[in-house]
C-alpha cells in the first residue's frame, strides 16, 4: 500500500464516475476550502458539530499540518471544469496509543454516491497497516446517513456520553 504520505489510488463510484483518493498535500488548502464552500450549513453542522461558516487560522493550520503518523488525511478528487477538484476528505487522528478518531466530509453534490465509504475504507486500511488497534467516531445522533456508513464498515455503538452524539468504535485486531 505504500506510506500514507504517498497514498494514491483510482476508484469508481457506484454510478461509474472515476475518482482519485490520495494523501492530502500542503497545497490542497485552497481546494479544501472551496470544497467546504460547496457544503451546506447542515453538512457542516453534522461534521463539525457547529454551524461553521469560517475557519480560524489555527483551525486551518490543524487541518493542513498532517504528519501521516498521528494525523493521516486523505482527499477524494474528481474532474471538474477540466481539472481535479476536491469533493471530500477524511482523516484519523491518534487520540491515545493504538486508538484514533476518524471523521470525513463529502461535498453535498457528491453525497450518497460512495465517496465517504471509500475514504473510510482506505483510512481503515491505513490505520491497520500503521498498527492501530481501534478507530472511534463521534456522530450526531440525527446523522443517520453517516451512522449507516460507519455501521456498514463494522463500527459498533458504544456507551453514550451525550444524548446528541453517538460514539462508534471499530476494533482493528
Q: What digits encode the pLDDT tens for the residues 33-68? A: 787 777 776 666 666 656 666 677 887 788 888 999
What is the rounded CA–CA span in Å between residue 74 and residue 120?
9
Percent of the chain with pLDDT over 70: 88
What is the rounded CA–CA span in Å between residue 133 and residue 120?
16
Average of per-residue pLDDT across 24-35: 86
Asked, for residue 149, whether it belongs to a domain, the answer is no
Asked if pLDDT for residue 160 goes beyond 90, the answer is no
Cell of 86: 476536491
For residue 104, the surrounding DSSP H or E stretch is strand 99-106
Asked if pLDDT for residue 129 goes beyond 60, the answer is yes
Asked, for residue 159, whether it belongs to a domain, the answer is no
Asked, for residue 148, whether it belongs to a domain, the answer is no
Domain that holds residue 99: 4-132
- Using alpha carbons only, how large is the chain's radius of gyration in Å? 15
Cell of 173: 485486531
What is the rounded CA–CA span in Å between residue 107 and residue 125?
23
Q: How many domains does the chain have?
A: 1
Asked, for residue 34, whether it belongs to a domain, the answer is yes
Asked, for residue 125, whether it belongs to a domain, the answer is yes
Is beta strand 156-157 parallel, antiparallel or unpaired with respect to 165-171?
A: antiparallel
Whichever domain contains 105, its CATH number is 3.40.630.30
Asked, for residue 98, whether it belongs to a domain, the answer is yes
What is the rounded CA–CA span in Å between residue 88 and residue 32?
8
Burial 64-92 (b: 16+ CB within 10 A, else e): eebebeebbbbbbbbeeeeeebbbbbbbb
pLDDT bracket for residue 72 (50, 70, 90): very high
Look up residue 162 and give its DSSP letter. Answer: B
Amino acid at each position: 500500500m505504500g506510506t500514507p504520505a504517498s497514498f494514491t489510488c483510482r476508484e469508481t463510484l457506484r454510478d461509474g464516475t472515476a475518482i482519485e483518493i490520495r494523501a492530502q498535500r500542503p497545497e490542497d488548502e485552497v481546494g479544501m476550502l472551496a470544497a467546504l464552500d460547496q457544503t451546506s450549513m447542515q453538512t457542516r453542522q453534522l461534521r463539525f458539530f457547529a454551524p461553521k461558516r469560517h475557519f480560524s487560522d489555527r483551525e486551518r493550520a490543524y487541518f493542513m499540518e498532517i504528519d501521516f503518523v498521528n494525523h493521516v488525511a486523505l482527499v477524494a478528487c474528481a474532474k471538474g471544469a477540466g481539472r481535479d477538484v476536491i469533493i471530500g476528505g477524511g482523516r484519523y487522528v491518534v487520540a491515545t496509543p493504538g486508538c484514533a478518531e476518524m471523521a470525513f466530509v463529502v461535498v453535498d453534490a457528491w453525497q450518497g454516491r460512495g465517496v465517504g465509504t471509500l475514504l473510510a475504507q482506505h483510512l481503515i486500511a491505513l490505520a491497520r497497516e500503521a498498527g492501530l488497534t481501534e478507530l472511534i467516531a463521534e456522530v450526531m445522533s440525527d446523522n443517520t446517513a453517516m451512522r449507516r456508513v460507519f455501521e456498514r464498515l463494522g463500527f459498533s455503538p458504544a456507551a453514550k456520553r451525550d444524548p446528541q452524539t453517538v460514539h462508534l468504535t471499530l476494533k482493528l485486531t
